[in-house]
Structure 1
Amino acid sequence: MQPKSSRKKINKWVSKATNKLIREILPDGSVHRHTALVLVNAIYFKGKWSNPFPRERTATGKFHRLDGSSVDAPFMSSREDQYIGFYDGFKVLKLPYHRTMKNHGDGGDITPAILKHYGENVGLSMYIFLPDARDGLPALVDKMAAASSGTGSSSFLRDHRPGRRRIEVGDLRVPRFKVSFYSEMNEVLKGMGIGAAFDVGKVDLSGMIDGELVVVEKVMHRAVIEVNEEGTKAAASTACTMKLLCLTLTSPVDFVADHPFAFFVVEEKSDAVLFAGHVLDPTSTSLK
C-alpha cells in the first residue's frame, strides 16, 4: 500500500460519497507502510422539511449555554401547526422530512445504501428533545440512557413520540446549526465487547487478506450535520484500519429551543437512528 496516495484516494471517495460534507476521514499518519487494509463506509442524507421554515421569519435571538452564558444565534420560526409531545421535564418536536428523496431537485438526496435498505419512499423525521430547564440536558441524557439500557436509544424514542395530530403552536423557534464530530472509536468498541479485533492473539482475520496476519489498528468516525430553513444535510463516515401523555390543549403551546437539546434523525418504520447529537451551542461546529 502506498500510504500517501492510498489515503488521498480513500478521502476522495468519502468526499464524493458524502457530497463533500466530509472531505477527509483519514487524517495524516493514519495510513502507513504497515497498513494492510482500510475498511471505509459512508452515508449521506439531504432531507427537505415537509413544511419548510420561511426564511423571512428567521431572526437573531439568545441561546443559553450550559455554563450560564448566552450567544446570539439565528432562530428559525414558523406559524404552522406542529407535532409536539409533552413529558415529565421535557418536550419533543417532530419535524418530518419530504418523503420523496431520490432526486436532487425534488425532496433532497440520500445515499444509495439507505435507499436500498429502506426503499425509495423513505419516511424520515428529526426529533428534537428539549428539556424544560435551561441546564436540563445532562439529566435528560441520563434519563435516556437509563431507559434504553440494553435496548438501544430507539426504545426511548419509540416511547416518547408526539401524537399523530399536529397542534397549534404559539411561539416556535429552533436555531439553525451546523456541527461536526470526529473520534477514534477503538475504546468505545472495546467497551462494547469487541476488543478481540484489536488483539493479535484473539482474532483471525486472515480470510480478509490471504496468508496475512492482520488486526484492527484504528477505527475512525466522522459525522457532519447541517440544519436550516429548507431541511437537513448530514453525512457520516467510519474508517477501520485494520409514550405520549394525554393532555387537553386549549391554547397554543410554545416550543422555544433556546438552550441545549438533543436531536435524532429517525427512519419511522424501523425506528433506526441514522444521526444523533446534542446542540450545546448552535454557533459552534463541535458535535457532542
Structure 2
Amino acid sequence: MNHPNKRLNMWITGGLCTCLLLSGCGTGSGNSKEYAVDKMDSSVEQATYQPSDLDPDFAEDQLAFAFELYQTMQTHKPSPPDNDTISPVSIATALSMTMNGAAGVTLTQMEEALHSAGRDAEARNQGYAVLADLLSHSGEHVKVSLANSLWGREPLQFKTNFIETNQTSYNAAIEALDFTQDDAADRINAWVREQTAGKIDKMIEPPISGDLILYLLNTVYFKGAWQSEFKAEATSPDTFTNASGQAEQVPMMNNHGYYPYVQQDGFQAIRLPYKQSGLGMVILMPDEEQSLEALIEQMNPGTWQGMLEAMEAQQGHIRLPKFKLEFNMTLKDTLQAMGISDAFHVERADFTPMIELEDNVFIGEATHKTFIEVDEKGTEAAAATVIGMEAGSAPPKDPFEMIVNRPFFFAIEDERTSAILFMGSVHNILE
C-alpha cells in the first residue's frame, strides 16, 4: 500500500514484516491452469471508510487474537527474558490472506486461532480492508503504511479466487518470480526494505529452496510524533534495573504535563498520544513486588479495555528510557500452540483453493521481524490544552509520578479501531 515517506520529520519509528512460506514437497511443474501471477500495482487510494464502518465484533476479535498471540509467545521465552516486540495486525493480516487459499480442517483451525469462527470469508476480508484503510489514514502527523505482496514461483499458476480476493481486499501486489535466479531473494528483500523505509533489511535468505512455491508477505511501517514532546535537553542518565536485577545507567527522557493515566492494583499505566491522531503508546509498569510476566498473564481484551477506560487526564511527571528494539522470531511454534497445526503439516494441510499440485501444499515456515525506536525528537504541540479539557470540572488530583526504571510493557494502539499495531516488553535497555 503506501510507500513510507522518508521526508516526514517525526521521531517514533517502527517497521516490521511477516512472511509465510508456502511449500509443496517435491513440487513439480503443477497442474493448476486457472490463474498466472503477474505484477500488479499496489498503490493505495484515498480513505474509503469511516470508523463506524468497522464491525465492533471484528475489532474485539482482533484484540483477543493480539493478547492470545502475545501471551502464547511468552511461553517460549528464555529466562531471564529478552526484549520482544510484535505486530498482531501484521501477523493476523498475513494469516487471513493465507486463509483465502485454505479449506477443511486447515481453514477451521486458522479461523478459530484468529477468533473469526462464525464469520464468513467475505466479512473477514472486509474487516481487514476497513482496518487497513483506517490505519493508513490516521492523520497528517503520523505515518501508518500497510503493504501486502504475494511472490509466486514461476511458472506455477494459482487459482483465480485466491489471487483476486487478496488483490481486492488486501491490495496485495502479485508477482511471478523465477526462484532459481540468483537475485530472486534480493528482489523480495528490496520490496521489504522499500515498504519499511529500510528498517527491515532482509527477510529471505538465499538460495530459495526448490520446494517453495509462494512467499506471502505483510509489512507495517509506522512513524509518528508525540503530541507533547520530550525536550532533548531534559534527557539525563538514570538507573534502570533490568530483568537480571542489574542496574543500568540509561538515557531517561523527562516530561511534565497532562496525560491519560491510571494506577490500579499492581501497576501504573500511561498513554502517550501521538500528534493529532487516534494513536498512542500505552506504557504499563508493574509495581516493584510484581513481575512483568505476571502482569502480562492478567491481560485480556476486557482488562485492557477496562484499563484504558479508567484512564483520566491527570497532571504529572513521566520519565521514560529511550530504547531501540530489533526482534526476529519464527511463528510456527506459537501458531501451532494456538491450534493452527494442520496448515504446517505436509500430509494434513488443505490449500486446494490456492493451487492444485501433485504434491500437497503446506506452510513451510512463518517468520516475523520487527524494529522500533523511541526517542525524544519531535515538534511542539498543543497537547496539554486538548487533554486538559477532558478533565472537565472534576476535582483536581495530586500530580502523578511515573518513573519507568524497571521492565515494562508497551503497545501502540489506535483508539478508533482498538487495533494494536505493536506490542512488546522491554527488559533491558542496554544490549
Q: Distance in 2 between matches of 1:230 and 1:49?
A: 9
Displacement of 1:203:
2.1
The equivalent of 1:235 in structure 2 is none
Counterpart pick for 1:14 among 192, 206, 214: 192
Normalized per residue, which structure has more helix?
2
> Are the equivalent residues in 2 in contact too, given 1:26–1:220 (CA < 8 A)?
no
**Whole-Å separation in 2 of the counterparts to 1:225 and 1:212:** 42
Could you tell me how far apart the structure 1 residues matched to 2:304 and 2:181 are?
42
- Of residues 220-229 and 195-204 in structure 1, the stretch that sits farther from structure 2 once superposed is 195-204
Q: Which residue of 137, 157, 161 maps to 2:304? A: 157
Distance 1:163 1:143, change over 3 A: closer
Correspondence for 2:357: 211
User: Which protein is bigger by CA-based radius of gyration?
Assistant: 2
2:368 maps to 1:190: no
Q: How does 1:1-288 map to 2 (within 5 A)?
A: 1-2=179-180, 4-28=182-206, 31-99=208-276, 123-133=278-288, 136-144=291-299, 148=300, 154-161=301-308, 163=310, 165-169=312-316, 171-211=317-357, 213=359, 214-230=361-377, 250-284=397-431
Is the CA contact 2:241–2:247 (under 8 Å) kept in the aligned structure 1? yes
One-letter identity of the residue aligned with 1:263: F
C-alpha separation in 2, matches of 1:3 and 1:218: 21
Matched residue of 1:251: which SS?
A: coil
Which shifted more, 71-80 or 211-220? 211-220
Partners in 2 of 1:212 and 1:282 — Cα distance?
A: 51
- What value does the CA root-mean-square deviation take over the aligned residues? 2.1
Query: Following the alignment from structure 1 to structure 2, what is the Cα–Cα distance between the partners of residues 53 and 2?
Result: 50
Counterparts of 1:13 and 1:222, CA distance in 2: 15
Q: What residue ranges of structure 2 are gaps of 5+ in the alignment?
A: 1-178, 379-393
TM-score where L is the length of structure 2 = 0.52
> Following the alignment from structure 1 to structure 2, what is the Cα–Cα distance between the partners of residues 56 and 280?
25
For normalisation by structure 1, the TM-score amounts to: 0.76
Deviations 1:234-271 (A, max 9, x none): xxxxxxxxxxxxx9764322100011000011111221
Distance 2:403 2:264 in 1: 15
Q: 1:279 Cα shift? A: 0.6
Normalized per residue, the structure richer in strand is 1
Aligned AA (1:179) = L
Structure 1 residue 186 displacement after superposition? 0.9
Instruction: Describe the shift of the 1:85–1:3 C-alpha distance in structure 2 as closer, same or farther (beyond 3 A).
Output: farther
3-state secondary structure, aligned to 2:302: helix
**One-letter amino acid of the structure 1 residue matched with residue 343 of structure 2:** A
Deviation per CA, 1:117-153: give whole Å up to 9, x if none.
Answer: xxxxx51111000111176212212222xxx2xxxxx
SS of residue matched to 1:82: strand
Partner of 2:100: none
Q: Rate the CA distance shift 1:218–1:92 in 2: closer, same or farther, 3 A.
A: same
Change (3 A) 1:283 1:209: same
**In structure 2, what residue type is equivalent to 1:172?**
I
Query: Are residues 162 and 84 of structure 1, via their aligned partners in 2, closer, same or farther at CA, if it must alter by over 3 Å?
Result: farther
Identity of aligned residues (%): 30
Conservation of the 8 A alpha-carbon contact between 2:408 and 2:425 = yes
Call closer, same or farther: CA 1:68–1:3 in 2, change over 3 Å: farther
Question: Quick one: distance in 2 between partners of 1:139 and 1:281?
Answer: 18
Letter in 1 for 2:331: M
TM-aligned CA distance change 1:3 to 1:159, over 3 Å: farther
Query: 1: distance between equivalents of 2:404 and 2:265?
Result: 17
Q: Counterpart amino acid of 2:402?
A: F
1:172-195 per-position Cα deviation (integer Å, ceiling 9, x unaligned)? 200000001111111111111121
Instruction: Give the distance between the partners of 2:286 and 2:181, measured in 1 at CA.
Output: 47
Superposed CA deviations along residues 2-23 of structure 1, whole A, max 9, x for unmatched, are 2642211111111110111111
Deviation at 1:215, TM superposition (A): 1.3
Secondary structure in 1 matching 2:340: helix
SS at match of 2:376: coil
Distance change in 2, residues 1:50/1:212 (3 Å): farther
Amino acid at match of 1:204: D
The letter for the 1-side match of 2:323 is F
Q: Is the 8 A contact 1:178 1:224 kept in 2?
A: yes
Distance 1:162 1:132 in 2: 20
